Structure 1
Amino acid sequence: CSSSSFLMHASQVSSLGASVARPPPLPKCVSVCVKARATRELGFDHAALKSSLSLPSAFSQFLGKATKHTLITMKLSMSLAAFVGSATAFAPTAFMPANTLRSAAPASSSSLNMALKEGQVPIVIGVAADSGCGKSTFMRRLTSIFGGDVVGPLGGGFDNGGWETNTLVSDLTTVICLDDYHLNDREGRKVTQRTALDTAENNFDLMFEQVKALKSGETVSKPIYNHVNGTLDTPETIEATPIIIFEGLHPMHDERVRELMDFTLYLDISDDVKLNWKIQRDMEERGHSLESILASIEARKPDFDAYIAPQKEFADLTIEVLPTALDPEDKKTLRVRCIQREGVTDFSPCYLFDEGSAITWAPPASKLSADAPGLTMSYGPEDFFGRPVQVLEMDGTFNNLQELVYVESQLSNTSTKFYGEMTQAMLKLADAPGSNNGTGLMQTLAAFAIRELYEKKAMAAKAKAAEAAATA
């Protein structure tokens, strides 16, 4: 869990658009898909709808998923200003450095941009993965979709009286690295001869107490594991926010902690892919030898298999990254599976074409271009650790990120606000690892699912509070 890596990624985040009233142009296929959906599903002419609502053409592109009832209601009761305000509420700006916000959209009244209110219960998300498995990239996608004002690292880092910290905050989100709950510092682990993956090297009693306290809206004094020098530093004060994310090695190991999680994810990278990634990062970028990389992987593997991998059984959503099945000689192309558990409260699995069917699909190259060995998608029900799941898969690499809107048009239960939002979110982070394959796609879908889960729980809490006030 590297805060410096996270900050490096976060510093590159830029706004989705300076103004929602002037959205970035979308590919021609967006308009084509929207018109087809409007004609096929809603039974009216898209051009007539656009004219009757008097909306700019860019906004009419995003109406493909609305119901006929919704569009009629918009026509009768929603002004263009209100429409613009609603769209602005979901322009992602979280964790952007302040100097990049030259033309940021004005503050929104959306429930997504608010501090923790009295009586509000935060939602708690757990993200499990080994180091170097994409947690920082996923956090970048997640926080950019939620939006919110920038705060950045708690304490501001070393400058201006700050301190070394792994905690990142915005007005909506707090991201806590579970390395902070290491029982011993680096020198202490040399004495015990245990790795940080070993559960005996982690303080689960304190972790449970503080997760419980934060979920109750309380403030805690959390330890800091300093990744620079391997020491346990002076604790820092953490205040509860509407969304609290615990990411690291063991978010689902302790049953007490697991029961407090509202949603859990596991990022599962196969051994072959992990080796290729480590060779690229440690050998090509850091100058390590192949022998040292292999030795490091082998040294960690027993503890990983014993203490980290078993958590996959408890995840609500697992993203598996595997070598491609299209060409056994290809070591770079990835096959990515999004394993979605059924029956999770406030979560509906995304599906391709027809829910519950078993489908394999090769998108035509004219609509989604891909180099050899090509690209396929699949979807269907499976059994995962004795539980029913729905699995969405992408195998291959696509060439043009804008063309992903064609895939988006075939997906349902994406938890997006408007047609094209998934593609826009991917385009916004086009420089992030995995943005041309299934890793970026599945991470983005998971981020939208978490946003929808938060909104549903926030709405339920608000209704409960209103009911309590009415009966008081």
Structure 2
Amino acid sequence: MLVIGIAGGTGSGKSTVARSIIHELGTKNVTLICQDNYYADRSELTMEERVKINYDHPHAFENKLLLKHLGELRLGREIEVPIYDFTRHARSSETLLVQGTPIIIIEGIHVLTDEDLRGALDIKVFVDTDPDVRILRRIMRDTQERGRSLQSVFDQYLTTVKPMHDAFIEPSKKYADIIIPEGGENEIGIRLLTTLTESYMDTLLAEID
């Protein structure tokens, strides 16, 4: 099993890069796990209290559960991935049943900031995109998909998103094996990554034969 970690700031194009690999190799060979689904469950708090949580800090994620699930996949077992409801700032009561494949992609802003999580990755990728582009993408996503107001997105960006990016996410770039500037717009960078994964698949199939 090959485990690829794709990190980068909010709106950098991490998901686009991950989907490009899946498009090339197919869902039978690639499983995508989003770190966002592993936000720690804070359902015991009131909505007002949950809104005030700094969701851009590394401690907002339950990475121990993510690592446990990754270990289960390596053993060929199914896992139940949490489903996070961004409109409620809490986990849903439902889960997503996921089976292991030869390639696992873990995508999220803090994939490279956690030492234990980094140690579980075979290829570490950082998607590096201009801040202006990232904030515009975040505004579009949060207002259209997550029911947020423009003012709330703006306030969150200034109070937590940018400070946490500067303090944790940007410095984690030094751990990357591959840096892809401009995310999904960088066809050459994506092709390099997919070529590496294709090479792994060819080697795996040769070993099976």
TM-score of the superposed pair, with normalisation by structure 1: 0.38
1:137 aligns with 2:31: no
Contact in 2 for aligned 1:180/1:222 (Cα 8 Å): yes
1:238 Cα shift? Answer: 1.6
Contact 2:11 2:133 in 1 (8 A): no
Who is 2:6 aligned against?
127
2:49 equivalent in structure 1: 191
**Alpha-carbon contact 1:197-1:307 (below 8 Å) kept:** no
Output the CA distance in 2 between the equivalents of 1:253 and 1:190: 28
Cα distance in structure 1, aligned partners of 2:44 and 2:133:
31
Opposite residue 114 of structure 2, the aligned amino acid is D
Larger radius of gyration: 1
- Tell me, in whole angstroms, the C-alpha distance in 2 between the residues paired with 1:232 and 1:316: 32
1:160-309 aligned within 5 A: 170-185=27-42, 188=45, 191=49, 193-233=52-92, 234-277=94-137, 294-299=154-159, 300-309=161-170
Pair 1:453 & 2:196 matched: yes
Q: How far, CA to CA, are the matches of 1:178 and 1:245 in structure 2?
A: 10
3-state SS of the aligned residue for 1:128? strand
Deviation at 1:254, TM superposition (A): 2.1
Which AA in structure 1 matches 2:11? G
* Mapping of residues 23-34 of structure 1, within 5 Å: none
Distance, in Å, in 2 between the alignment partners of 1:279 and 1:314 is 28
1:31-430 residue pairs with structure 2 within 5 A? 122-146=1-25, 148=26, 170-185=27-42, 188=45, 191=49, 193-233=52-92, 234-277=94-137, 294-299=154-159, 300-321=161-182
Aligned pairs for 1:456-471 (under 5 A) are 456-461=199-204
- Quote the offset at 1:130 in angstroms: 2.9
Aligned partner of 1:123: which letter?
L
1:227: Cα distance to partner?
2.9
**Paired residues of 2:58 and 2:114 also in contact (CA < 8 A):** no
Q: 1:186/1:317 Cα in 2 relative to 1: closer, same or farther (>3 Å)?
A: farther
What is the root-mean-square deviation of aligned Cα atoms in Å? 3.3
Higher fraction of helix: 2
Offset at residue 177 of structure 1 (A):
1.0
The TM-score with structure 2 as length reference comes to 0.77
Q: Which one scores higher on RCO, CA 8 angstroms, separation ≥ 6?
A: 2
Identity of aligned residues (%): 28
Runs of at least 5 residues in structure 2 that lack an aligned partner in the other structure: none
| Cα deviation 1:319-345 (Å, max 9, x = unaligned) | 334xxxxxxxxxxxxxxxxxxxxxxxx
Give SS of 2:112's match: coil
